[in-house]
Structure formats: C-alpha cells, structure tokens
Structure 1
C-alpha cells in the first residue's frame, strides 16, 4: 500500500487553499466590477430623473407665471367693470331720486289743490240742497232693496246702481274718500301673543289670546273668557261672535249668541298640523282655513252643511266683504303675494278679480266704504278698491312687523293685533 508523507499532505493542502483564495478573489473582483457598473447605471438614471424634474419645475414656474398674469388681467378687467357698474348704479340712483322728489313735489301740489277743491265742495254742499238730495237717493235705494232685481240710473252718481233683492245687497259707486294715513290712538296690552282681533256691536274689542278671548272695552277695562282650545280666530258679525279653536289635530268653530260665555259648536274638521288657521264670516257662510291641505271648509248657515273648497292657490288669510264675496290672500315662495276675490256660487269659487304684486302682504280686512286693507310685514298697508285696483300704500312706524287678523269699525278705526309684541294696536283712519 502507498502512503503519503506528512509533508506531501501539507503541501497539497496549502496549494488547495491558495487556489481557493484566488478563486474567491476573482469572484469578489467580479462582484465589485458588477456593483460598480450597476452604480454607474443608477447614477445615470438618477441624473436623468433629476434633469426631467428640473425641466418640469421650470415648465411649472412658467405656467404659474402665465396663470398669475392671466388672473391679474382678469382681476383688473373685473375691477374696471365693477367701477363702471358702480358709476352706472350711482347715476341711476341719482336720477331715480330726482324723479321721486319730482313726483313727490307734484303729488303734494295735487294734494293741496285737491284739499282746496274738497273745501270748496263742502262749502258748496252746506250752502245748497245737495244734502237733501243725497238723503232722497238713500231713501230710493232702500225702497229698491225690497223689490226685484232692477237696474236704476241714479241721478246723483256717474254710474248705475245695481240692486240684488235675493241677497239684499247694493253695489254702488259713491263719492267715498280714500284713506290717506293712520294715526295711533292706543296700544292695548293683552299679556300674550294675539293673532286675531275684532270689533263687536258696541265698539268694544275681542282679542284671541292663547286659550282665551280677552274683552277690551273703550274705558280700558279688560276681561278674559276661557275657551276649550287655542283660539286662532275671533270674528263678530251682526249680533254673533264666532271663534275658531285648535284642539290637538282638530279645528272647531263655535257660535256665541247672545253671551260670549255661552257657545254652541257649529262644525269641526281635522287638520294634520298645528299651524294657525283663520276664518271669515258673512250672512250666508262661514269659511275656515285647512292649512295642511291648502283648502277651505265652507259652512252654510241655511243648510247646516259643510263643503270643501279648493282655491286656485293655497290661502293665507280670508275675509268676506260687504257684497258677500270672499277675499283670499295667498303667499308664494318669493315675498310677492296675490289677493283674489271670489264669488261663492253653488259651493264653487268663481274668480271675480285678482290683484297681484302685493309685496310681503300678510293680513286683510275691509271698511264700510268697501276699501280693502292689506297689511304687510314691512309696516305698510295697501289700500285696494272694491274692483281690485291698488290705490295707495300707507306707511306707519307703529304698525307691527307681524300683524294678526285685523278688524275695522265702520270707516274710522282699525285694530291690528301683534303676534310677536303681545298687544292690540288701535289706529284712527284719516281720510
């Protein structure tokens, strides 16, 4: 057997180690070279990315400058146009102010001439027999009211007098003076919000106040009559008083005759909300508001029956005028309201006329001359003729911003309840 010496084994081992070392060195050098190549490539890509980013930054800066320039130009254009528009507005306002002042001067001149003419007419009437002739005309009208329907040419008026015997109503064009202003007489404190007020036959006031009807006499005395529900509306007609009360989701209309402490239920109807409802009364009917459906409930005094009426638009306030026709005030989304006069015929609403553009209109009533008063939320009252023409707008700082259902005694006195000021304001009507 062949055996290697120890020296030979050692030499072979060192030779193998050297070879391994060389291989490792070569492999390590190869790895270093490969890493250098990769680093070089990464540096090139990095430089390229930074170059692109620099170019994009420069381009963004240019675009930003362009945008700022365009914005500055547009702002300047808008500023110039605004200045021009402002100058136009100032000029228009100046011209409008001059026109208003001119119209006001002209109106004041006409008012003075009219007052002078009225004074001459009154003097002439005192010195003539015109008063006697007017009394004769009234007697003639009273006689015709008891006869069949007839058209009479009245010798003292410019237009004919139409007498309806069936409803005992007379429509007549007469020399009634248009209301010109309101003079504050008194403010009657009622202690709580009041949404409705009415004059009764003796001139005292009844005011709807929560679950009470408050009685205010001319001497300043007060008294309260408790009711079953929240009183939304109190009305006086002929010798009766009517109340519309809200009890939960039911509306009940009562008639009080002859004592307001004693009342009888006329009718009731359901309502799915608790918004304030208003009513109106005439010789033949009483109409109540149904706010959840925008409809009206009509009660016929003769047949004791109720009917549902649907106006052209949702009603806001109601009022019967002297000729027995129904006024309905409607509100819209924009604060421009409409007043419509209806004739109730066979339980149908037939439109007679419509008065539009009543800005911020809120409540309505009428006087014994047939003039219609439309109170707004701007401390003004529109005066409307019986034919639906706007005649005048009266302003008074004492008028409430939120008026309730109003009432007029004859043609001399107006009461306006205040929903948010807890008072009833009484005005003298100037003619």
Structure 2
C-alpha cells in the first residue's frame, strides 16, 4: 500500500520519539535532560546495565552506542513489536489520532507529480536568481543593499527577482518544454480569464524561496517593489506542494540549529528571519501568514520545548501575543510552553540588528517573558 504524499511527515510531526521509546525503557534520570529533548537509558535491544541507548527528541532518532541499533519511531515500533512497516505506521497513526488512508492506486502517480512539481520549482528558483543580476533588477538590488544584505547573504538565501511583465516566467519555462499544467500546478502562473496565455503569479517582486523541512522548494514569497501595490507581500497559492498553515520559513536550517542547542526564535517575516540568522540566531523561523496556526505551533514544539516569539512592541504585537496564548493554552502539554520577546516600540528584529547589532537583540531575547506571566498581566 502506498501512502499519500506528506502522510509520514505529518505523522512524525505529531509524535514524540521519547514518548514512543519511553513506554519500553526506564530513563536514566541523572544522564537525561528532558528540557533539551535528550534521553538516555539501558538499551532495550541488548542486555546492559549502563545507559548507552540515546534518544534525541528534536532529531527524532535513537542510537545505541553498545550494539549500534539506530532508527526513528517507526523503526523502534517495528523492532520492539515485531511488526512490519505498515503495521508500525498504523500503530503510531492511531496514537496520533490520524486516520489511515484508504488504498489509493493513484498514490504513486501523485507522488511522481509532486516530484515533477518540485523540479519545476527548482527551475523557478534559478530563474529568479538570474533575474536579480539583470539591469531590470537595479532597484531591487539597491533595496536589498539598503537592508544590509551582502552578495554572500543573497546567495545563501537564494533571493531573486521577478521582473515586471505578464509572461516572463511562463515563457522561460515553456521554452524549456515544461508542461503548462505543471507551471500552473506549481503556483507560478494563473490561467487568464480573457482567453489569453496564463500570466505570471509574481511580477516586479523580490523573491524569497520557501523550502520545506527536507529542503525542497515548495513556494515563494514575493516583496512588491511598487509602493502602490495592493499586496506588499505575496505568497504562492496553496498547491500540492505548499500548505501555508503547515509550513515555516527557514524550517530545515532552524531545526538543525535548534538540535545543536540554538534558541528557537519565531519572527514575523522573511527579512526578520534573514537578519536574525545572519546575526548569529540561526534557529529562526517565520510563519507564512498573519498568525501562527495550530499546526505550526506543534511544529515549533517539535523543535523546541519553549520557543521565543519575537513581536513588535506596539499594540498590534501585544494583541498577536494574546491570540497566540489563546491558541496555545488548550494544546499545552507537560514541558511545553512559550516565551515572548517584545521588541522596542516601532522596531522589529531586522531594525534592531541593523541599527544596534546582535547584542541588542540578544538582550531582548534574554528578557523574554514566560507565557504565564503575560497571561497573568492580561487577566489582572
């Protein structure tokens, strides 16, 4: 049986490997650090008295330094319950409250299409990056330079430019024989209501590729160069690759940095994340909408037990904090919480990094308030 795209990723997001393994072992309380998602126990796969079996919650893997057994939660269930892969998926899906998909003979066809869409997106990344080097992108380059982005930073973040005009991307991809349905399916173009050729989704915008936790380009965010544009920031439409409420900007690199002990910081936008990461705060992410969703909150808790939410110090920032607290309260579990770092009024992390440097941001993060304190202030 083939599983639909994204099912296993969602399952791994919902389960904690320490919970799965913890039913079979006794954690070594002296060696384990639950707050960091770091657990040790005697190995369940071979006889030993010392705690050489290591579980890392944030990475989702276990490893025994004695017998070298290793794997993820699914592998652990397979080995300890003596079941096959699909049975292990069913066991964990039931625990996670996920309904197993019905047999879908078209699942492989769908997966193949997603692979094709991801390839089209990579071509789009390269197209936009090339366009940023052209004469048409002069104003865009000047803007990015004013925002403090070096040429090296532009390369690291794969920032590009969508030129003005209706069919630049369309013509470039069709010139490479990319099928029309894949260009539209990737969210790079939209059908014309006037019977003409489809038109580009992004025009006259600085482009930020959005990658999933596995590093695949799944969407774009575009910053308008025209100050009169109705949408200052525009995300790709939702596609077979992109679900806005289940995605985070800079997810993969931030998850890796968080696993190395870096504090997880949640900012509001792309430029904040880039400024933070360039300033040394590598475990920084941003939601891709106006507010953090329940799914995104669970993703954050998978990376860190207590993420820091960095908000502007104005009334809108405080309101956003309260909305997030209301979302988080019913979902709280032991060891999970949030802290809130309120920036000086009128400034965001990007502003502070450029004007005052990383140390000023670190000082604000060090003073981040626990969620319960902010809630107490509201209720009293």
> TM-score, normalised to structure 1's length?
0.27
> TM-score, normalised to structure 2's length?
0.30
More helix by share: 2
More strand by share: 1
Larger Cα Rg: Structure 1 or Structure 2? 1
